[in-house]
């Protein structure tokens, strides 16, 4: 069972960009991937996911088009823009630097 674990806004944006780096996906697919790949630690609700997708579209980091899912349902599919790919690379680097610094502090006596 997935935990309703809070994900910081910037972290959710990073996770969404990362999932979209593999190709276009609809919102439900993004949420399911994040939950699955986190070992059911993160459950991204619609109230968090869709504002993040809207924000990323406004920043022109992702783009969207309507399409049909594998279940023959109409859905909005999101994809990374070239600006989104650059932002993802930068944010991954920042995240790794941040978590490395936190780990140094946590492992200190």
pLDDT at 3 over 50: no
DSSP, res 73: -
Residue 49 resides in a domain:
yes
Residue 2 resides in a domain:
no
Give me the pLDDT at residue 2, please.
45
Residue 46 resides in a domain:
yes
Domain that holds residue 99: 9-106
Q: What band does 15 get if pLDDT is binned at 50, 70 and 90?
A: very high
What are the residues whose beta carbons fall under 8 Å from the beta carbon of 41, sequence distance 6 or more?
2, 3, 5
Give me the pLDDT at residue 80, please.
98
Residue 3 resides in a domain:
no
In angstroms, the CA 84 to CA 21 distance is: 9
Residue 67 resides in a domain:
yes
pLDDT at 1 over 50: no
Residue 85 resides in a domain:
yes
Task: Tell me if 8 sits within 8 A of 95, measured CB to CB.
Answer: no
Q: Residue 83: give its domain's CATH number.
A: 1.10.10.10
* pLDDT digit string, tens, across residues 21-52: 999 999 999 999 999 999 998 989 999 999 99
Work out the mean pLDDT of the chain and round it to a whole number: 92
Residue 1 resides in a domain:
no
Residue 73 resides in a domain:
yes
Number of independent structural domains in the chain: 1
What is the pTM (predicted TM-score) of this model? 0.87
Task: Tell me if 84 sits within 8 A of 57, measured CB to CB.
Answer: no
């Amino acid at each position: 069972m997935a935990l309703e674990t809070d994900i910081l806004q910037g972290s959710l944006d990073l996770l969404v960009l990362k999932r979209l780096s593999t190709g276009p996906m609809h919102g439900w697919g993004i949420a399911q991937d994040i939950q699955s790949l986190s070992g059911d630690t993160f459950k991204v609700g619609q109230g968090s996911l869709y504002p993040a997708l809207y924000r990323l579209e406004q920043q022109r980091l992702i783009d969207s088009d309507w399409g049909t899912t594998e279940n023959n349902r109409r859905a909005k599919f999101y994809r990374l823009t070239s600006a989104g790919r650059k932002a993802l690379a930068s944010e991954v680097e920042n995240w790794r630097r941040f978590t490395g610094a936190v780990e140094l502090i946590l492992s200190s006596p």
